[in-house]
């Protein structure tokens, strides 16, 4: 099987190349990059020196010859390429935001005008734990945002308790490492500015909020998610606290969360959530807490933003779309320490 | 003037010794430590080598000869010493939790039985921005908890809008460095376990929650604060997000916060809160945000947990109690980077 | 094939369990721990929750039933178990220092009295790139120290230039993360003490110096290595600078290093050495530099101290001893970022 | 007294502004910046919000009205401004490299053509511990490089043992945080690339090597210093290991180092050197070690690269040039933790 990574020089692209390289069903991987065309992949991803020394190509839809294409591009660029690829019968997983939000008006408010809004209804939201069957049949999968993955997996099981939670006031307070902000140098992400620092940013108005609302709204009518991220001086990892006021016992919650994810390979219900327990793996760890006195449930979830929050989940989606084992190529285990 | 630091080997004690050393009104400082008695202070606080080489003494209430005593002890130990010191006419600032909560029953639920509950009503909560006049006259000051300092300063100005905020569902989601957990080695705080990691802990039930409730309850009747901390791999600094649902405009909020703290030396209303802007200083930075769509205000506040969250605030209280300039000895500026 | 990890609760033991778990030729792995016997492995190595929930056993040589045993124990404890295991025909890889130094007198000076010095001459030093054929036939392999691995791989190719280097004054200045110091909490390794800090320790007299001397002495007569480590606030990784005065050109050096390691799977000659390019992998990256003006060569090498510097190399040795493919189970790729 | 900081938007400039702000003898400070002219200083140095909100000016030699000017500019730019300032009778401290090297030919080899080489012989090298009296009388002081400061302070006392050390083969292996590389974002200094990483760079050929040679050569004839730096993922701090082969006892060394720096306010001879013990202060900590077996002395030194390695030392020089107390304005104490 042939895979194509469009935009292979960023962090998600690099992680994709790394994973696909070791994937038993993938015979060849081609990577494109406008900036680095003609240069060896391992000049950019120096971890792959001697392993992935092929050069980046320039993307050319006409010549694209593959079974599946991953679009690892800045928001707004994926939609320039998806239609042509789909027309050639190539399956597409977009790691950007272009097909995550069904409502074109909402998309436009947060990202700008959509170029092919007719595809929005055809795209499947690529969160396998919730939409596995649809993904199997999809031609176009919108890979979820990293924050959205952590938040939605934390909230989804609570959909059982629609009437017992204050669904209109769900608060997601997420802490993320810097790799989620990408490979491009800036003052905001300069080491001396980030290290030893905890930085508030996009305290309100983050683009993943409508994405959470869109998906959670399908599970819990009238639900409304309020989202705030914080930049933490680590490279990888998101730890997300979801605060929900409710009339439930801790037992109710724990039982439901354990059942909901009982058969999932990549979701673990644990006592204590630490990002390091999931880094470099496709796992999402979740813990369930209740403040009896206040009637507040807290669901803590953690993922590696570049694996379960991007490239790993993209390959999980590919595995479903292509009929492979769901964990193929993404079964590596997290590390200690 | 003579100062005594009871329990000078921990992080708060060390910071106190450092500050008092450079305080223009303090003529002498004595430090006690059970564990390190007879050893030079600079063996424990190696930053002070050549500067503070006097030895730790063993604490002896009978011999205590000073104008003010700082109790930098584990919770439950301060109350063993405070009565005798007060009886000798020595002013006391307790950096522990023993006199922070007025209600002995609440204290007992979170910390265990109180040994001199009659002092609870006499102790003044040492947050100068709110209780300056009382502190001036106090003999016994309960220095606020670090998380409580950041949260209460963030919420207090909102007391103006009692009817327009959902005061029963205030959520404080705070991120803290490891120095707040103290000097004692443990697996939880071992470098290899903490670094690159984001760790949930005491997701519900943290002891600073009743402290917040107690003080905020005085400002906003029926207010109830829900608190969750997260351990971040930095040494110093707390960044605290306070989420409040409200019917207010951003202008309302910004105006009120600016006015409320307009004359405060140590509180700055800023656009972007980063912990590094306050580290090693007594400042608290606060920013105000509103998610119009959701009616959610977010107040972000940041302090250095060992300065404004402990030793710096303790000296600020001392300055008030002794009639000195409030910023004396704690006017050092934060660093970049 | 059955493997046994004696001392599975430390960092090297945990990494071994993780690797062996995914090793295609290993049918079962048993782990022992005196401290944690009866507790699930995943209580200690929480990354393996749901993956490795079997309990730690207490070690009992009599019941040991396996093809190969890894001793991941503090120095001095491995030699208590090796003889009995060998006598049962079980192959042994000792990750401690007990069999690394051939000379019992030198061992004693640095570590204390040896309990079975007769085994010293039978043990093979487990650095596959230098001693591959001997390892294939070995019953007892002494897995090299982490610093020694990085230093010896950096120096070995220079043995070609015996007469052109000042072999008596080779200086190895290595920088290491904290995981090399182990899992046991201490003030020295407490997060607040290590983070943001660069700490000199064992500036002279480190135990890996005689190990380097012993092996390098076999390659370059009269060679003498001077070693100094520094503790760096990262979790994993060693970067080692080897300074050698010489009469050589950069071309001489580069050609020799490239040839020497030309066929090695796990050694890469690169332009710039960064530890992250090898973390979580069994690679050793090496770069070669020459200060023409001063006649000083600098060889920079980097490894993951827990993989190529411990567990990964131990499995590489196992693969050779058992006749498996040398990279089996340790072919995972490093990450970016 | 009036001070001017030319180039106030970088890290050294910011630290200068911070220090001068609290300096008892400085009545006013003006800061210039080409990039940020017209913008408040606290927009760039957000730590100084509410404290230093004056705007950056554009530099104009003609209008310069001050007693002393600090040039905190990229190498090559200081020499464009120094002559005009000196001609106006303004004392100058150049924090760049333009006047550090006496030999114009050496300067040119490492930095490019010098524009006013006649000033090289008039400039005084601003290391107060070695050249205090000359600095007192200087009009133009070349503030030492950060690595050079740490190395020269470590080597200088050994000049007593000229005949007993192998002075031609002194190796300085220094570890530095990222703030030394400046404020400008780049891929090399991007947080995700630096964090958790140890990066070799300029392994040979670093520009501070000739600076060390130049100064050490004045103290120890025929001395030759070989220098290699490594980038460490901390923000501030240099820890420098100086390796010297010698025929000396540890007592010889310790006695000499203690005597040499016995009266120095800012140099401490300690047992264990950790960068954190000097961060945010003007101290240089030094420890002395000897490997008897190998005849190798190791001198470990540590400074804060932005204080003793830049702005602090610049103010120390100013104090000498202006006849103030040497520690005025730079007597703040390091922190723990």
- Give the span between the Cα atoms of C137 and C140, in whole angstroms: 9
Among residues B105, B139, B146, the alpha carbon closest in space to that of B123 is found at B139
CB within 8 Å of D262: residues ≥ 6 apart: none
Yes or no: say if D69 and D61 are a contact pair by the CB < 8 Å rule. Answer: no
Q: Convert the pLDDT of each residue in B298-325 to its tens digit.
A: 999 999 999 999 999 999 999 999 999 9
Percentage of chain B surpassing pLDDT 90?
Answer: 98
Question: CB–CB of C234 and D294 under 8 A?
Answer: no
B61-65 — which CB contacts under 8 Å span 24+ positions?
B61/B85, B61/B88, B64/B4, B64/B88, B64/B90, B65/B2
The pLDDT, as a whole number, for residue D62 is 86
- Partners of chain A (3+ Cβ pairs below 8 A): B, C, D
Yes or no: say if A330 and A19 are a contact pair by the CB < 8 Å rule. Answer: yes
The pLDDT, as a whole number, for residue A63 is 87
Tally Cβ neighbours within 10 Å of residue B152.
27
Can you tell me the mean pLDDT for D146-169? 97
Give chain D as a 3 state SS string: CEEEEECCCCHHHHHHHHHHHCCCCCCEEEEECCCCCCCEHHHHCHHHCCCCCCECECCCHHHCCCCEEEECCCCCCHHHHHHHHHHCCCEEEECCCCCCCCCHHHHHHHHCCCCCHHHCCCCEECCHHHHHHHHHHCCEEECCCHHHHHHHHHHHHHHHHHHHECHHHEEEEEEECHHHHCCCCCCCCEHHHHCCCCEECCCCCCCHHHHHHHHHHHHCCCCCEEEEEEECCCCCCEEEEEEEEECCCHHHHHHHHHHHCCCCCCEEECCCCEHHHCCCCCCEEEEEEEECCCCEEEEEEEECCCHHHHHHHHHHHHHHHHCCCCCCCCCCCCCCC
Contacts of D177 in chain A (CB under 8 A): 192
- CA distances (Å), origin C257, targets B221, C154, D304: 75, 9, 37
Yes or no: say if A246 and A161 are a contact pair by the CB < 8 Å rule. Answer: yes
The pLDDT, as a whole number, for residue C126 is 98
Yes or no: say if D155 and D170 are a contact pair by the CB < 8 Å rule. Answer: yes
Question: CB–CB of A18 and C336 under 8 A?
Answer: yes
CB within 8 Å of A118: residues ≥ 6 apart: none
Residue of B35, B43, B192 to mutate for C, most C C-beta atoms under 10 A: B192
- Give the span between the Cα atoms of C178 and C190, in whole angstroms: 10
Tokens of D5: 């900081």
Question: CB–CB of C337 and A236 under 8 A?
Answer: yes
Q: Which residue has the tokens 């025909």?
A: C89
**What does the DSSP assignment read for A143-192?**
PPPHHHHHHHHHHGGGGGGGGGB-GGGEEEEEEE-GGGG-S---TTTBHH
CB within 8 Å of D263: residues ≥ 6 apart: none
Which residues in A91-127 are b (16+ Cβ under 10 Å) and which e? bbbbbbbbbbbbeeeebeebbeebeebebbeebbbbb
- Give the span between the Cα atoms of B99 and D72, in whole angstroms: 50
Burial of C201 (0-12, 13-18, 19+ CB in 10 A): middle
Can you tell me the mean pLDDT for D208-222? 96
Q: Convert the pLDDT of each residue in C214-235 to its tens digit.
A: 999 999 999 999 999 999 999 9
Residue of B42, B46, B266 to mutate for D, most D C-beta atoms under 10 A: B46
Tokens of D123: 């400039």
Question: Is B223 strand, coil or helix?
Answer: coil
Q: Tell me the residue ranges of DSSP E strands in A27-109.
A: 28-32, 68-71, 91-94
Contacts of C48 in chain A (CB under 8 A): 333-334, 336
Contacts of C22 in chain A (CB under 8 A): 331-333
Which regions of chain A are under pLDDT 70? none
CB within 8 Å of C318: residues ≥ 6 apart: C3, C68, C70, C91, C93, C324
Strand D68-71 to strand C68-71: parallel, antiparallel, or no bridges (unpaired)?
Answer: unpaired
The pLDDT, as a whole number, for residue A255 is 98
Among residues B274, B270, B276, B280, the alpha carbon closest in space to that of B330 is found at B280
- Give the span between the Cα atoms of D59 and D71, in whole angstroms: 11
Query: Measured between CA atoms, how close is A43 to chain C, in angstroms?
Result: 10
Query: Measured between CA atoms, how close is A160 to chain B, in angstroms?
Result: 23
- Give the span between the Cα atoms of D193 and A258, in whole angstroms: 37
Task: Inform me whether the pLDDT recorded for C206 exceeds 90.
Answer: yes
Question: CB–CB of B11 and D270 under 8 A?
Answer: no
Question: CB–CB of D18 and B196 under 8 A?
Answer: no
Domains present along chain D, CATH in parentheses: 2-122 (3.40.50.720), 147-305 (3.30.360.10)
> Helix crossing, C11-21 with C312-322: angle to 10°?
50
Is the pTM higher than 0.95? The answer reads yes
Among residues D278, D152, D311, the alpha carbon closest in space to that of B51 is found at D278
Confidence of residue B174 (pLDDT cuts 50, 70, 90): very high
- Give the span between the Cα atoms of A176 and A170, in whole angstroms: 19
Among residues D66, D143, D132, D145, the alpha carbon closest in space to that of D320 is found at D132
Query: Measured between CA atoms, how close is C246 to chain D, in angstroms?
Result: 11
- Give the span between the Cα atoms of A201 and A198, in whole angstroms: 10
Tally Cβ neighbours within 10 Å of residue D27.
10
Tally Cβ neighbours within 10 Å of residue C160.
18
Q: Convert the pLDDT of each residue in C256-312 to its tens digit.
A: 999 999 999 999 999 999 999 999 999 999 999 999 999 999 999 999 999 999 999
Q: Convert the pLDDT of each residue in D179-201 to its tens digit.
A: 999 999 999 999 999 999 999 99
Yes or no: say if D200 and C174 are a contact pair by the CB < 8 Å rule. Answer: no
Tokens of C88: 């049962």
Question: Is C120 strand, coil or helix?
Answer: coil
User: Would you call the peptide bond into C307 cis, given omega within 30 degrees of 0 as the criterion?
Assistant: no
| Annotated catalytic residue B146 | yes
Q: Which residue has the tokens 């190998």?
A: D294
Residue of A192, A200, A231, A235 to mutate for D, most D C-beta atoms under 10 A: A192
- Give the span between the Cα atoms of D300 and D242, in whole angstroms: 6
Task: Inform me whether the pLDDT recorded for D61 exceeds 90.
Answer: no
Q: Which of A52, A66, A146, A246 is catalytic?
A: A146
The answer, yes or no, to whether ipTM is higher than 0.95 is yes
The pLDDT, as a whole number, for residue D13 is 98
CB within 8 Å of A85: residues ≥ 6 apart: A61, A64, A69, A92
- CA distances (Å), origin C288, targets B275, C292, D242: 41, 13, 21
Question: CB–CB of B18 and D336 under 8 A?
Answer: yes
Query: Measured between CA atoms, how close is A289 to chain B, in angstroms?
Result: 7
Contacts of A186 in chain D (CB under 8 A): 185
Q: Convert the pLDDT of each residue in B105-147 to its tens digit.
A: 999 999 999 999 999 999 999 999 999 999 999 999 999 999 9
- Give the span between the Cα atoms of C192 and B231, in whole angstroms: 12
Confidence of residue B286 (pLDDT cuts 50, 70, 90): very high
Average pLDDT, chain B: 97
The separation between the first and the last C-alpha atoms of chain D, rounded to the nearest angstrom, is: 36
CB within 8 Å of C275: residues ≥ 6 apart: C177, C234, C236, C237, C238, C239, C302, C304, D197, D198, D199
Query: Measured between CA atoms, how close is C23 to chain D, in angstroms?
Result: 27
Question: CB–CB of D277 and B46 under 8 A?
Answer: yes
Tally Cβ neighbours within 10 Å of residue B102.
17
The DSSP call for residue B99 is T
Q: Convert the pLDDT of each residue in B26-80 to its tens digit.
A: 999 999 999 999 999 999 999 999 999 999 999 998 888 999 999 999 999 999 9
Q: Which of D52, D66, D146, D246 is catalytic?
A: D146
Instruction: Name beta bridge partners: C70.
Output: C5, C93
The pLDDT, as a whole number, for residue A54 is 96
């Amino acid at each position: 099987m042939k895979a194509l990574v469009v935009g292979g020089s960023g962090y998600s692209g690099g992680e994709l190349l790394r994973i696909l390289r070791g994937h038993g069903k993938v015979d060849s991987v081609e990577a494109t990059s406008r900036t680095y065309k003609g240069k060896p992949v391992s000049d950019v991803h120096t971890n792959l020196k001697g392993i992935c020394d092929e050069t980046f190509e320039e993307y050319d839809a006409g010549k694209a010859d593959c079974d599946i294409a991953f679009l690892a591009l800045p928001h707004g660029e994926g939609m320039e390429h998806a239609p042509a690829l789909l027309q050639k019968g190539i399956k597409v997983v977009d790691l950007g935001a272009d097909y995550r939000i069904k409502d074109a008006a909402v998309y436009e408010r947060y990202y700008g005008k959509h170029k092919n809004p007719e595809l929005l209804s055809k795209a499947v939201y690529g969160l396998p734990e919730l939409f596995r069957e649809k993904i199997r049949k999809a031609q176009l999968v919108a890979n979820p945002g990293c924050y959205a993955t952590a938040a939605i997996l934390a909230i989804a099981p609570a959909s059982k308790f629609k009437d017992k939670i204050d669904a209109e006031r769900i608060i997601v307070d997420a802490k993320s490492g810097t790799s989620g902000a990408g490979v491009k140098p800036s003052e905001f992400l300069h080491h001396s500015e980030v290290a030893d620092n905890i930085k508030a940013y996009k305290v309100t108005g983050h683009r993943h909020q409508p994405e959470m609302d869109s998906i959670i709204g399908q599970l819990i009518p009238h639900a409304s998610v309020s989202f705030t991220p914080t930049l933490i001086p680590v490279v990888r990892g998101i730890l997300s606290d979801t605060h929900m006021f409710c009339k439930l016992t801790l037992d109710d919650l724990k039982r439901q969360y354990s059942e909901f994810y009982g058969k999932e390979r990549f979701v673990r219900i644990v006592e204590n959530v630490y990002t390091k327990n999931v880094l470099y793996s496709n796992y999402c760890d979740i813990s369930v807490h209740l403040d009896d006195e206040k009637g507040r449930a807290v669901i803590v979830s953690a993922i590696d933003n570049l694996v379960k929050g991007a490239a790993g989940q993209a390959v999980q989606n590919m595995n479903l779309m292509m009929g492979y084992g769901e964990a193929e190529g993404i079964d590596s285990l997290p590390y200690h320490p």
